[in-house]
């Protein structure tokens, strides 16, 4: 098992579940350090029941992680495959985002079955409703919104809060709806500057003392540029807060621990049953799994009804 790409809260809960269910099912479980980099280097150790004690509540990944450019090269990939053979690894669990699972797919095409678990705060994988770490990340953003509101309303300011998510706007969208932001901008929709300015002015005229503009990092205008335009066109003093890596850390929420534990359990079960290469996800409340390649080819679309609701509720 390895974790790869950006870490996400709940990865440790998934590691723990894979190890414990694996051992319970009479398999030997090995942990690979630093993702595909560690696989190439042979940083592989046998895991025991106690090696995953006291980690369910910890953010990050105790196996550590990396983004490996070398693994993408022919030579690096061959070394990784050689290492799997040296250690007689018969199946691999990859916990990570789309790039990490795509790496797993290339391994599976060379003959080693791979089970993918969606570990990323971005919630950008089409085959699953939720990814491990997304819920915690949204909660971290909510806590930041609370703090920013206090100071913004004291100073009667607007604040552009920039959140992560790459090309996916889910962190921004869910945090905006649940945090009561006045405006939300996501990469899936073109920003409408006129409408943003109009809404902010209307809010001010109704007596709003501050406004929160939640902006996903993938939107095609920089946060500072947006803040400058708002200040110039509305007269409202507008600050920028880029939340950055705080969104990736912290103790995982109950929801992420639950998701990670159930998905880790399913991964071990699929390997035990020789089910081939699968991607584990959740649809509604049900843990599901798809052929790994099919899962990665699914096209993602954001939930427009959440956007509409966020708009209505922030009137």
Given the rule CB under 6 A, which of 44-52, 164-172, 266-274, 298-306 is the region that contacts ligand F6P? 164-172
Footprint of ligand F6P on 225-254 (CB under 6 A): 248
Q: How far apart are CA 309 and CA 18, in angstroms?
A: 38
Is residue 135 part of the contact set for ligand F6P (CB under 6 A)? no
Nearer to ligand F6P, 60 or 165 (CB): 165
Site pattern 32..71 for ligand F6P (x: CB under 6 A) = -----------------------------------x----
Looking at residue 1, the DSSP 8-state letter turns out to be: -
Q: Which two tokens stand for residue 42?
A: 């042979």
Could you tell me which of 62, 171, 63, 61 has the C-alpha nearest to residue 121?
Answer: 171
Q: How many residues bind ligand F6P (CB under 6 A)?
A: 11
* Active-site hit among 7, 122, 170, 256: 122
Nearer to ligand F6P, 38 or 165 (CB): 165
Shortest distance (Å) from residue 162 CB to ligand F6P: 11
User: At 278, is the secondary structure helix, strand, or coil?
Assistant: strand
Residue 87 makes CB contacts below 8 A (sequence gap 6+) with: 30, 42, 44
- Confirm if 218 and 168 have CB atoms less than 8 A apart: yes
User: At 77, is the secondary structure helix, strand, or coil?
Assistant: helix
CA distances 167 to 37, 150, 216, 297, Å, are 25, 30, 8, 16
Nearer to ligand F6P, 44 or 171 (CB): 171
Is 122 annotated as catalytic?
yes
Shortest distance (Å) from residue 140 CB to ligand F6P: 12
Residue 150 burial by CB count (10 A; 0-12/13-18/19+): exposed, middle or buried? exposed
Footprint of ligand F6P on 64-83 (CB under 6 A): 67
Nearer to ligand F6P, 66 or 81 (CB): 66
Shortest distance (Å) from residue 117 CB to ligand F6P: 15
Given the rule CB under 6 A, which of 28-36, 142-150, 158-166, 304-312 is the region that contacts ligand F6P? 158-166
Footprint of ligand F6P on 201-220 (CB under 6 A): 217
Site pattern 88..127 for ligand F6P (x: CB under 6 A) = ---------x----------------------xxx-----
CA distances 33 to 208, 213, 258, 270, Å, are 50, 39, 24, 22
Nearer to ligand F6P, 203 or 218 (CB): 218
Among 38, 165, 187, 203, binds ligand F6P (CB under 6 A): 165
- Confirm if 84 and 32 have CB atoms less than 8 A apart: no
Helix residue ranges per DSSP H, 25-115:
35-41, 74-86, 98-109
Looking at residue 245, the DSSP 8-state letter turns out to be: G
Binding site for ligand F6P (CB under 6 A): 6, 67, 97, 120-122, 164-166, 217, 248
Q: Which positions are annotated as active-site residues?
A: 122
């Amino acid at each position: 098992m390895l974790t790869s790409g950006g870490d996400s809260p709940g990865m440790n809960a998934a590691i723990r579940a894979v190890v414990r269910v694996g051992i319970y099912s009479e398999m030997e479980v090995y942990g690979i350090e630093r993702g595909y980099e560690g696989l190439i280097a042979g940083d592989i150790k046998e895991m025991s029941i106690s090696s995953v004690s006291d980690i369910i509540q910890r953010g990050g990944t105790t196996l550590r992680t990396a983004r490996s450019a070398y693994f993408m090269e022919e030579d690096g990939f061959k070394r990784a495959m050689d290492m799997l053979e040296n250690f007689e690894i018969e199946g691999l669990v990859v916990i990570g985002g789309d790039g990490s699972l795509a790496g797993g797919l290339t391994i599976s095409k060379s003959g080693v079955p791979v089970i993918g678990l969606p570990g990323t705060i971005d919630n950008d994988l089409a085959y699953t409703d939720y990814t491990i770490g997304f819920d915690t990340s949204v909660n971290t953003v909510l806590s930041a919104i609370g703090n920013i509101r206090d100071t913004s309303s004291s100073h009667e300011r607007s604040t552009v809060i920039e959140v992560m998510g790459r090309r996916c706007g889910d962190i921004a969208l869910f945090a905006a709806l649940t945090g009561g932001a006045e405006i939300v901008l996501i990469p899936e929709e073109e920003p409408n500057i006129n409408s943003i300015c109009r809404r902010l002015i209307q809010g001010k005229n109704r007596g709003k003392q501050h406004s929160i503009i939640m902006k996903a990092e993938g939107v095609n205008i920089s946060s500072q540029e947006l803040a400058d335009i708002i200040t110039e066109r509305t007269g409202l003093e507008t600050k920028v807060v880029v939340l950055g890596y705080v969104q990736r850390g912290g103790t995982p929420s109950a929801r992420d621990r639950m998701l990670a534990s159930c998905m880790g359990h399913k991964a071990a079960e699929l390997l035990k049953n020789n089910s081939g290469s699968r991607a584990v996800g959740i649809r509604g409340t049900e843990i599901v799994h798809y052929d790994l390649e099919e899962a990665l080819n699914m096209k993602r679309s954001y939930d427009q009804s959440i956007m509409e609701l966020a708009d209505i509720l922030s009137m």
